[in-house]
Amino acid sequence: MSLRVQVVNGLAAPLTRYIGRLKGWASVEDVRKVNDQLCSLVRTAGSRPVVLCYLIKDVLPMMVVAAINPSGAFARLRWVCDDTIGGLVSARVIASLGGGVFILPWGSAGRRIRAIGALRQLETPWGITVDGHGPYGEVNPALVRLLSTLDALVLPVAATAHPETYVLLRAKLAIPLPWSVVRLRVGAIVDVREHGVGTGRVLSERLSSISLRGT
């Protein structure tokens, strides 16, 4: 077993146990609104990809929602994670919770192009962080190019736990505390066809407008 795999396993195991415990302690609000919006968008999208976009700091609260509501908005969602340590830890936790994951290669142009082709063929909605690889807290231009290439319809989502604490690794991560209430908010759809080169700015504005916490 490689050192990288050992690190991923070592980080993912306690995080999976903690989220598992939160299933019995925490509660969630506003899941139905996200579910309704997502289902409506999927019905009208036709062959276009439907993508949920969110900040890295919201990932753990969203995992808690997925754990508590396995048949809700995230039931058919494919979580796209890159093959960094952080991405692989997230993928391992999500898979342990019964969620679907898709690993997006980073660095190898050939592997990444093939993966993007596979993303285009997904028949279910997928979710991805907007600030992977930084700048954290902002929409990464590389993601905007990916969404434009795929002709995606984007649904901005924010998740906040009350109370919550934070840990600062390479990015700031929100960690729901026991007996917290996790709230979801969904923004207006971002259509890359409509917004073109302004897609990143519009997505950033809509994520900011639904945030329940400061930056």
For the segment 66-104, what is each residue's pLDDT rounded down to a tens digit?
898 887 767 789 999 988 888 999 999 999 989 999 998
**Sequence-separated (6 or more) residues with CB below 8 Å from residue 202:** 190, 195
pLDDT of residue 107: 66
pLDDT (tens digit per residue) in 146-199: 999 999 999 999 999 999 999 887 788 999 999 999 999 999 999 999 999 999
pLDDT (tens digit per residue) in 4-33: 889 899 999 999 999 999 988 999 987 888
pLDDT of residue 214: 53
The model's confidence at residue 36, banded by pLDDT at 50, 70 and 90, is confident
pLDDT of residue 114: 83
**Sequence-separated (6 or more) residues with CB below 8 Å from residue 93:** 12, 15, 16, 19, 63
Spatial contact of 68 and 27, defined as CB atoms under 8 Å apart: yes
Domain boundaries, the chain: 3-210
pLDDT of residue 215: 46
Other beta carbons within 10 Å of 31: 18
**Sequence-separated (6 or more) residues with CB below 8 Å from residue 84:** 106, 133
pLDDT of residue 213: 64
pLDDT of residue 39: 86
Which region, left, alpha or beta, applies to residue 200 given φ > 0 means left and ψ of -120 to 50 means alpha?
alpha
For the ranges 61-65, 137-141, 195-199, 209-213, the lowest mean pLDDT is seen at 209-213
pTM passes above 0.85:
yes
Helices (H) and strands (E) in the chain, counts: 8, 8
